[in-house]
Structure 1
Amino acid sequence: MRERGRTRRLLGLGARTGGALLRTRMGGQADWRALGEALFEGLSELKGPAMKLAQIMSQWDDLLPPDLAEELARLQRQAEPMPWEAIRRTLDDHYGELEAVFREVETRPFASASMGQVHRAVTHDGETLVLKVQYPGLGEVLEGDLAQVRRLMRLGRWFKVPQARLDALFEELAASLRGELDYHAEAEALARYRRRYADWPGLEIPEPLPDLSGERVLAMRYVPGTPLRELEGADDATRQGIARTLADWLTEELFTFGELHADPHAGNFAADDQGRLVIYDLGAVIPVPEARLAAMMRLLEATLDGDPMAMDEALLSLGGRQGQGAPLALYRDAAEAVSALFAPGEQDFGDVRVHRRLRELSPRVWAAMDRLQPPADTLLLSRTLNGHYWNLVRLGARLDMRSRTDPLLAWAGEQP
């Protein structure tokens, strides 16, 4: 009965979303704020894959209607927590008698997301830990939810997105969600990253505690910090330090280790009282093949050169366009908008003119969707990089991206 109720609610949200999209295609006006509020309320309670998909969509700030993007973004910071009684049952199943292991466990989570929530706990020795607890029954409803998400994603055909790419996006989402249920893999990733970045003074990664962790509970030492999404009011030195560390870390991940933290929403990052970047969640880490990275850098080089023909050729080699490609004028205008961040010297990621140019291009991008598509095998990578870009925007980062990029472009030119 509960599964049928979830299905009806997901289908109802899908119908409401489809109606809004249909009105816009017919030249009408959709109430994006009302739709966003409905999606927030429904998905916040349902949790799981559909909520995760909405969180992913919320990171496309430059493409979604502003009112809709703003409401979906609430899912990253205000998602309703699951009642303590349900979480307590999961903890009791794992630990047996909870009071025998912990002196105290806070009943109200200090973080809640699509697949689980986090509670502080104090051991009998007085040490503060955090317990990441998977939502009860999530494994059982996952496949059913994914089936409904696949139906919802058919709406993408209204934007001329080919079925093959919709299928690729679905498979990417499904693999990511299934992976996020594996807390053993996340504990291993935390340990690996702690070893990898042990000598980085500006980076802090919580220590996993295998003896207290299991299939549905991940225990870590508590690392306090101010969430990245709350740093807008922090002093400039703190924000710039965090931004530089984030940019350095992403470059190291991609070009040295060939992988990337693939869940960039702002709640996964914080600044501690020493100004270090804290990475809380490593439930999604993806490999980035060297050949794919080199191809993307060649596209960036063509973009910075303002060469629309080279951009088209690079997209073709990536599998990112079909037919005759996008209009050359769209390539030129996109290159002009993007290049502003790569001009010589320090550039301000908070410059609203850059975002305005990108947003003004979005209707033309959607209009060219039958010819210009994100490559099917880089959807998650592209989405992740976009999410990290917006984290830098939130920080008001000022970075010399040209000096950072030139050695990487030279590296790409040396690849076969």
Structure 2
Amino acid sequence: MRERGRTRRLLGLGARAGGAVLRTRLGGEADWQALGEALFEGLSELKGPAMKLAQIMSQWDDLLPPALAEELARLQRQAEPMPWERIRATLAAEYDDLEARFTEIEPRPFASASMGQVHRAWTPAGEALVLKVQYPGLAEVLEGDLSQVKRLMRLGRWLKVPQARLDALFEELAESLRGELDYRAEAAALARYRTRYAGWPGLAFPEPVEAHCTSRVLAMRYLPGTPLRELEGDDGARRQALATQLADWLTEELFVHGELHADPHAGNFAVDDAGRLVIYDLGAVIRVAEARLRQLLALLEATLAGDALGMETAVLAMGGRQGQGAPLALYRESAEAVAPLFAPGEQDFGDVRVHRRLRALSPKVWAAMDRLQPPADTLLLARTLNGHYWNLVRLGARLNMHERSRPLLAWGRGEVGVAALSRAPTAPV
């Protein structure tokens, strides 16, 4: 009965969202604020995959109507917690003797997310831990939720996205969400990243405590930090140091290790008292093939050269585009919008003129989607990179992207090896 009620709620929210999209397609106006409030209230209570999808959508700051994006963004920081009694039941089911393991667990969580929430706990030895506890019954409702999410994604057909590409995107999202249910896998990822970046003094990752980890509970040593979203009025020098560290880490992740942290909402990043960039939640890490990176760099190089025909060639090489007539005018406008971020010298990621150009370009991109058709396996990557970009914007990053991109483009052309791309503190750059 509870599952049927959940399905009805999701269908109702989907119908409301579909109605808003349809009104705009027919030339009308939608109340995005009201839709956002309804989605926040409903998804905050339901949790699970649908809430996760809404959090992902909220990171598309340059595509969604601002009122809708603002409401969805609340799901990253203000989601309603699940009652302690249900969370405690999960803990009791995971541990043979809960009281023997922990002398105290705070009933009130200090973080609530789509798939679980975080509580502080203390061991008999007095050690402070945090327990990320998966919401009870999530595995049982996952597939039902995913089927409703798939229905919601059919709205993409109104934007002229072929069903085959929607299906491929859905499978990518579904695989990611199923993987997030295994907290042992996240514990392994934390251990891997802590080893990988042990020589980076400006980075910090929570340490998993294997003895207390299960498939539904991730136990970590307490690593406090101030979330990035709370740093807007902070000291400019500290924000620039964090922005540089974030940009260096992303370069290292993508080009040296072929991986990418795929849940880039601001709540997963913080700064600790030592000024280190703290990276939480490694439940979603995606592999990025070297061949795909080289193709993306070819597209970037053509974009920075303002070469519309070169951009078309690069998109075709990635497996995108269909139909007749390359959108050359759109390629040129895209190049003009992106080029300022890569101009010689230090560029300000907080420059609203760049954001306005990108936002103004978005409707034209959607209108040409029937011809553009980006490959399905680049959509999650693009969404993830977009989320990391907006974290740099929130930090007010000032970076010399011209100099940063030069070795990457040279690697894409096969002129230098991967060692030239490393941003590791001990590596020559």
Q: Please give the range of the TM-score, normalised by the shorter of the 2 chains.
A: over 0.9
Q: Report the equivalent of 2:130.
A: 130
**CA contact under 8 A between 1:308 and 1:328: conserved in structure 2?**
yes
Distance 2:300 2:45 in 1: 40
Q: Which is worse superposed, 96-105 or 357-366?
A: 96-105
Q: Where in structure 2 are the equivalents of 1:191-270 lying within 5 Å?
A: 191-270=191-270
C-alpha displacement at 1:96, in angstroms? Answer: 3.2
3-state SS of paired residue (1:218): strand
Q: Distance in 1 between matches of 2:23 and 2:262?
A: 34
For the residue of structure 1 that corresponds to 2:220, the secondary structure is: strand
**Is the 1:295–1:317 contact (alpha carbons within 8 Å) kept by the matching residues of 2?**
yes
Q: Report the 3-state secondary structure (helix = DSSP H, G, I; strand = E; otherwise coil) of the residue aligned with 2:218.
A: strand
Measure, in 2, the Cα distance between the counterparts of 1:152 and 1:292: 28
Is 1:360 the equivalent of 2:360? yes
Give the letter aligned to residue 261 of structure 2.
Answer: H
Matches for 1:77-116 after TM superposition, within 5 Å? 77-116=77-116
Inter-partner Cα distance in structure 1 for 2:124 and 2:293: 48
Q: Could you say which residue in structure 1 is the equivalent of 2:402?
A: 402
Q: Could you tell me which residue of structure 1 aligns to residue 64 of structure 2?
A: 64
Q: 2:310 is matched with which residue?
A: 310
- 1:348 aligns to what? 348
Q: Give unmatched runs, 5+ long, in structure 1.
A: none
Amino acid at match of 1:141: V
Secondary structure at 1:232 match in 2? coil
More moved, 124-133 vs 318-327: 318-327
Separation (CA, whole Å) in 2 of partners of 1:270 and 1:400? 23
Please tell me whether the aligned partners of residues 325 and 372 of structure 1 are also in contact (alpha carbons under 8 angstroms): no
Partner of 2:20: 20
CA distance in 2, matches of 1:188, 1:111: 22
Q: Where do 1:11-50 residues align within 5 Å?
A: 11-50=11-50
Q: How many residues align?
A: 416
CA deviation vs aligned residue, 1:340-359 (integer Å, no higher than 9, x gap):
11111110101100000000
2:424 is aligned to none
State whether residues 312 and 325 of structure 1, in contact with CA within 8 Å, keep that contact through their aligned partners in structure 2: no
Partners of 1:7 and 1:326 in 2: CA distance: 42
**Structure 2 length-normalised TM:** 0.95
Question: What is the alpha-carbon distance in structure 1 between the residues aligned to residue 177 and residue 325 of structure 2?
Answer: 33
Post-superposition offset of 1:321: 1.6
Contact 1:131–1:220, Cα closer than 8 Å, also in 2:
yes
Amino acid aligned to 1:33: Q
> How far did 1:374 drift?
2.4
Report the equivalent of 2:389: 389
1:287 & 1:35 partners in 2: Cα distance? 34
More displaced stretch, 319-328 vs 270-279: 319-328
3-state DSSP of counterpart to 1:39 = helix
What is the match of residue 160 of structure 1? 160
Percent identity of paired positions between Structure 1 and Structure 2: 80
Q: What is the deviation of 1:326? A: 4.7
Q: CA deviation at 1:103?
A: 2.0
Shift of 1:200: 0.3
After TM superposition, the score normalised by the length of structure 1 is 0.98
Counterpart AA for 2:66:
P
Letter paired with 2:277? L
Report the residue type matching 2:319 in the other structure: G
Q: What is the CA-CA distance between 1:218 and the residue it aligns to?
A: 0.5
Match of 1:171?
171
2:293 alignment partner in structure 1: 293
The question of whether the paired residues in 2 share the 8 Å contact of 1:326 and 1:368 is answered with no
The offset of 1:415, in angstroms, is 7.8
Segments of structure 2 that go 5 or more residues without pairing to the other structure are 417-429
Matches within 5 A, 1:173-192: 173-192=173-192
Please report the RMSD computed on the Cα atoms of aligned residues, expressed in angstroms.
1.2
- Partner letter of residue 201 of structure 1? P
Q: CA deviation at 1:317?
A: 0.8
Distance 2:77 2:372 in 1: 33
* Letter of the 2:17 counterpart: T
